[in-house]
Amino acid sequence: MGGRVFLDYVDPWINWDWLSSHVALLTTSLLAHLQLTVIAVAIGLAISLPVGVVAQRERFLRGPVLTLFGIFYTIPSIALFALLIPYTGLSTLTAEIGLVGYAVLILTRNVIVGLDAVPRDVIDAADGMGYRPFARLIWVELPLALPTIFAGIRIATVTTIGLITITAVIGQDSLGQLILTGLTDNFHTPLVVGTVLSVVLAFVADLSLALSQRLAVPWARAA
Amino acid sequence: MSILMRVVEWFTNPAHWTGPDGIPIRLLQHVLLSAESVLIGALIALPIGIVLGHYGRFGTAAMNISNVGRAIPSFALLALSFQIFGLGDAPIIISLTALAIPPMVTNSYVAMREVDPDIKEAARGMGYRELAQVLRVELPLAVPLVMGGIRTSAVQVVATATLAALIAGGGFGRYIIDGLAQFDYTKLVAGAILVALLALATEAGLAGVERLLIPRGLRLLSSPATKRVTFKAA
C-alpha cells in the first residue's frame, strides 16, 4: 500500500454524512431491488403453476421435469448470466431470465409436493359431488395445496432477494450495486448499508408473505 | 465467427491449459477453496445438526438457520469478509464456510428427526447404548438427507467461490470477472461453462458418494429427495 495519503483516516463502518447525503441513491437501489424481485417471483409463479399441475398429473413428465429443473438450479447464477451475456447483453433481461428460472424450480417443486399431499379421500369426495377435473383442481386441490405453495413463494422470494445482489456484477442497479461499489471503492458504508438493507428487505418480504398466507389460508398454520 | 466457435477455439488453444492462468491451476484453486470451506463447515455443522436432531432440541433454531442463511447474500458475506480480514484465501474460506453451515445443520437435523421412533426403540431394546445407537443405527438411516445437505452446501460453495475473483481470489471466477472487465466474451463464456460443469460435477460426484454410503437395505426405499432443504445462495 504505497500511496496511503490519509494515514490517520480510518474508514468507519458507517459514515453518517455519506448516508444522509445519499438517501436518494439508497431509495432507488431498494426500489430497483424490490422491482426485480416482484417481476421474478410473479413470472415464476405464472410459469410454475401450470407446469407444476401438469407435471403432477402426468406421471411420465414428473421425473424429467424435476431432473431438468434440478440441473438448471445447480448452475451458478453468475455462470448463467455470463452464458446469456453474448445474446442478451448486460441487461435486466439477462438478470430476469436467471432469476425467473431459479424461482420456477422452487415454486414448481412446491406445487407438485402440495398437490401430492391432497388426501385421496378428498379427491374421491369431490368426484362424488360431481366436480369436473378442472373445477376440482381450482376449488378443491389448489386451495388445499396453498400452504405448501405459499411456503414456496416465501423461499423463492428470499432466495431471489439474495441472488439479485449478484446481478450488480452484470451492471444491474440494486442493493447489490451498493455492495459492489463499497467493495471496488474500498469504502465500508455502501457495503454495510447495502447488506443490511438486503437482509431487512428479505425479512420484511418473508414476514409480509407469512401474514398474507395467514389471511389467505386461515385454516392452515405456516408450513 | 460465432461466439460458440470462438469458445471452442478458446478451449482447444493449448495456451489456456498451462501457466498460472491456465485451466488446471484455476481448477485446482477453485476446488481447493471449495473443499476446504465445505470440510470446515461440515466439521462444525454436522455435529450440531446430528446432536440437535438426535435429542430433538432447538428444532426451531436448526430449521431457521437456513432461513437466515438464505436472507444473507453470499456476495455480501464475501465482500464483508474481505473488508474485515483483507486479502488472501482466509477471508474467502471464512465466508464460504459460513455459507456452507446452514443447509448442513438443517438437513442433518431433519435427517435425525426423520429416523423412525420404532427403530430407535428397537435399538434400545436390543441393548444399544446411546452412542452406538447414534453411530450404528440412526446415522446410517440418516445418510441420504445428511448427504443431501452436504451436496447443497458444496454446490453453493462452488458457485460462490466464483465470486471470490471479485476480491482478487483465484479459481474459474477469474475468467468470468476478467472476461467482463476486458469485454472478452469468449473468455467470459468459457469461464461460465467451466463453473457450470464444476457445479454439476460436484452434485453428481457427491450423489455417487451418497450411493456408496447408503446401507444396502435402505437403497430399496425411494429417497426422500423432496425433504432436502431448498437453498440457493449464488
Per-residue pLDDT tens digits for A49-102: 999 999 999 989 998 999 999 999 999 999 999 999 999 999 999 999 999 999
pLDDT(B223) > 80 = no
**B12-71 residues touching A, CB cutoff 8 A:** 67, 70-71
- Tens digits of per-residue pLDDT, A131-149? 999 999 999 999 999 999 9
Split at pLDDT 50, 70, 90, the class of A3 is very low
Q: Residue B87 class from Cβ within 10 Å (0-12 exposed, 13-18 middle, 19+ buried)?
A: exposed
User: Pick from B72, B173, B232: which is nearest to A163 by CB?
Assistant: B232
Q: Amino acid identity, residue A125?
A: A
What is the average pLDDT score of chain B?
Answer: 92
Per the CB < 8 A criterion, the answer to whether A69 and A156 are in contact is: no
Cβ neighbours of B23 (radius 10 Å): 17
Is any Cβ of chain B less than 8 angstroms from the Cβ of A97?
no
How far is it, in rounded angstroms, from Cα B82 to Cα A192?
A: 12
Which among B73, B160, B232 is the nearest to A102, CB-wise?
B232
**Binary contact (B180, A183; C-beta < 8 A):** no
| CA dist list (Å): B46 to A152, B36, B111, B153, B170 | 26, 15, 11, 12, 28
CA distance A82 to chain B (A): 6
The minimal CB distance from A183 to the residues B79, B193, B195 is found for B79
Write out the H or E segment, with its range, that includes residue B33.
helix B23-55
Least confidently predicted of A54-58, B39-43, B171-175, B212-216 = B212-216
pLDDT at A217: 81
pLDDT digits (tens, 9 = 90+) for B92-111: 999 999 999 999 999 999 99
Q: How many helices (H) and strands (E) does chain A have?
A: 10, 0
How many CB contacts within 8 angstroms connect chain A with chain B? 141
Judged by DSSP in three states, B13 sits in: coil
C-alpha distances (whole Å) from A141 to each of A54, A120, B104, B135, B143 are: 13, 10, 33, 42, 33
The predicted structure's pLDDT at residue B222: 56
Quick check: B224 pLDDT over 70? no
Name chain B contacts of A163, Cβ cutoff 8 Å: 73, 232-234
Q: Which of B66, B230, B159, B177 is nearest to A168 (CA)?
A: B177
Question: How far is A100 from A37, CA to CA, in rounded Å?
Answer: 9
Q: How distant is the Cα of A192 from the closest Cα of chain B, in angstroms?
A: 8
For B137-170, the pLDDT digits (tens) are 999 999 989 999 999 999 999 999 999 999 988 9
pLDDT, tens digit, 9 for 90 and up, residues A192-219: 999 999 999 999 999 999 999 888 887 7
